[in-house]
Chain A
Amino acid sequence: MSPPRVGGPEPEPRRGAAEPVRPVVTGVGLITPIGADPDSFWRALVEGRSGAGPVRSFDTAELPSHVGCEVDSFALPAAVKAALSGGRCTELAAFAALQAASGAGIASALEGAADAAVVVGTTMGEVTQFERDRAEHPDGEASVEDVRTLVERPLDVMARSIARIWGLSGHVVTAPAACAAGSYAVGLAASLVRRGQARIAIAVGCDAFSRLAFVGFSRMRAMSSDACRPFSLGRPGLLLGEGAGALVVEAEPSARARGAEILGAVEGFGLSCDAHHVTGPDPAGAGAARAMRDAMERGGVGPDRIDYVNAHGTGTPLNDRMESRALRTVFGARAAKIPVSSIKALTGHMMGGAGAVEAIASLLAMRHGVVPPTWNFVAPDPECAIDCVPNEPRRSRLRHVLSNSYAFGGNDASLLLGAAE
């Protein structure tokens, strides 16, 4: 019997490089309330086209608010739809994943790949059918048929469904991290690639428009009944959204060897936890600050080299105040000068989709050399002493961007993204 391994515990053996591998992004896909492809999405971000409107998915007559950000109808190829287990969240995720794979030029290369991973982040997962069934007979207990859809489509069903599209086996991971889940998906995917555990990883963040979440946020008095105004004085709260973002994260040597277009790099993934309150952020923003610093340290980029911060910026009084404080902690005097913006003013809070879609927005900002503004801004809040780029896009050369996401449970995540060279 051999002794325990000496010389350092390691994850699975790496093939090829002994150094950590740089994870780059070679494809992106998305479906959001303001666009179902990167180009139309980007145009909406710079033109201020909002995805907010009267809620269509369910009756809001009895609810305190009637406004949300829903995705327009969309279609999947019949063969793909048949292969999925069904469900809106799964279909949103698949739509984005297919678009990203196609954009990366790997859709056929993925077939049966043994070194490709799928990482999905979500908040509620597949609840749409359950909610619809319950709405039809709301009195009394949920029936066996009602809960059957929840039992047969647990939280990991999106990841398995996407893996099934390409016949993948291997790392098929689901990390529910509430409103930070999209960032977790991208960060964990990048970590798998960095450690040589996958050559390609499809990272997807997704959530469908949920009545449960709508009622929940309303009940907590966190929801606006008209617009979402991140960082603005007197901001009324968040708007619920839905959507999915997908990124193909690939080992740089692999991307270069096949001549792929590199859209950017995931330079660092920072994590921390508030350990303060299950729904409210730590007002001091200590966990948020730690996550930002962690991402920058891991990426070897100091605070002075960050060109833009894509904020979590939900538009609630608590989050935006906390995030501003965390930015001041991390950037000091520079906090009032770095452009910081939140796209949630237009997209609403896509929950699990947010972190992934916002990572894509960050890459697009670097590519176009334009900071997307914080729309719907009306007046500065002295407690949010930052430059939130109100209402007007701004030309700027962007090399390194931080993208923040904070969640229930006090989960704090920051992605450090780098421009394509």
Chain B
Amino acid sequence: MTSPDQLTRDVIAIVAGIAEVEPHEVAPDATLEELGIDSLDGLRIVAAVEKRYGIVVEEAEISRIRTMPDVLALVRRYAPEVR
């Protein structure tokens, strides 16, 4: 298994901060619900990655974000140049 790239580590750090857990407690395949993240926190996560990566996520996509892989895929899709 390859080690998580920088992007994954950074996004995990953002999510961990909002979920009030340590980064190592955020499994890369966790659901947001498992992490205790509610709808308000979900909006915070989107706002944080938008600011961090200079992207603007379309409204319709926001409600479809349910898991860590969803968040990572979103960032990769909107900011493909980021590693």
A complexed with B: yes
Residues of A whose CB lies within 8 Å of any CB of B are 219-221, 277-280
Chain A nearest CB from B59 CB (Å) reads 7
Q: Are B43 and A280 in contact (CB-based, < 8 A)?
A: no
State in angstroms the CA–CA spacing of A278 and B12 once bound together.
25
A–B pairs, 13, beta carbons within 8 Å: A219-B43, A220-B40, A220-B43, A221-B43, A221-B59, A221-B62, A277-B38, A277-B39, A278-B40, A279-B39, A279-B40, A280-B38, A280-B39
B62 proximity list for chain A (CB < 8 A) = 221
With the chains together, A366 CA to B78 CA distance in Å?
Answer: 55
Q: A278 vs B43: C-alpha distance in the bound complex, in angstroms?
A: 14
- Taking A220-B43, A279-B40 as given, write out 11 further A-B residue pairs in contact, using a Cβ cutoff of 8 Å, ordered by the A residue number: A219-B43, A220-B40, A221-B43, A221-B59, A221-B62, A277-B38, A277-B39, A278-B40, A279-B39, A280-B38, A280-B39
In chain B, positions 24-73 with a C-beta closer than 8 Å to chain A are 38-40, 43, 59, 62
Chain B count of residues within 8 A CB distance of the other chain: 6
Contacts of A219 in B (CB 8 A): 43
Interfacial residues of chain B within 16-30, with CB under 8 A of chain A in the complex: none
Q: Which chain B residues border A279 with CB–CB below 8 Å? A: 39-40
Taking the closest CB of chain B, its distance from the CB of A236, in whole angstroms, is 11
Residues of A within 8 A of B43 (CB): 219-221
Assembled-state Cα–Cα distance A277/B38 (Å): 9
Task: Looking at the assembled complex, report how far the CB atom of A215 sits from the nearest CB atom of chain B, in whole angstroms.
Answer: 13
Residue on B nearest A276 in the bound complex, by CB: B38
**Which residues of chain B are within 8 angstroms of A280 by Cβ–Cβ distance?**
38-39
Q: Which chain A positions have C-beta within 8 A of B38?
A: 277, 280
Cα–Cα, bound, A219→B62 (Å): 12
Look across to chain A and name the residue whose beta carbon is closest to the beta carbon of B39. Answer: A280
Bound CA span A219–B39, Å? 12
Q: How far is A279 from B41 in the complex, measured between Cα atoms in Å?
A: 12
- Nearest chain-A residue to B47 (Cβ)? A219
Q: How far is the CB of A256 from chain B (nearest CB, A)?
A: 51
Which residue from chain B places its CB closest to the CB of A64 in the assembled complex? B59
Whole-angstrom distance between the alpha carbons of A277 and B39 in the complex? 10
Q: Min CB distance, B40 to chain A, in Å?
A: 6
Q: How far is the CB of A275 from chain B (nearest CB, A)?
A: 14
B40, closest chain A residue (CB): A279
CB of A404, distance to nearest CB on chain B (Å): 22
List the B side residues contacting A220 at CB < 8 Å.
40, 43
Complex CA–CA separation, A220 to B44 (angstroms): 10
Instruction: Considering the complex, give the chain B residue whose CB is closest to the CB of A220.
Output: B43
Residues on A with C-beta less than 8 A from B39 are: 277, 279-280
CA distance A277 to B41 in the complex (A): 12
Chain B residue contacts of A278, Cβ below 8 A: 40
Q: Give the distance in Å from the alpha carbon of A278 to the alpha carbon of B40 in the complex.
A: 9
Q: Which residue of A lies closest to B63 (CB)?
A: A221
Q: For the complex, give the distance between the alpha carbons of A276 and B62 in Å.
A: 22
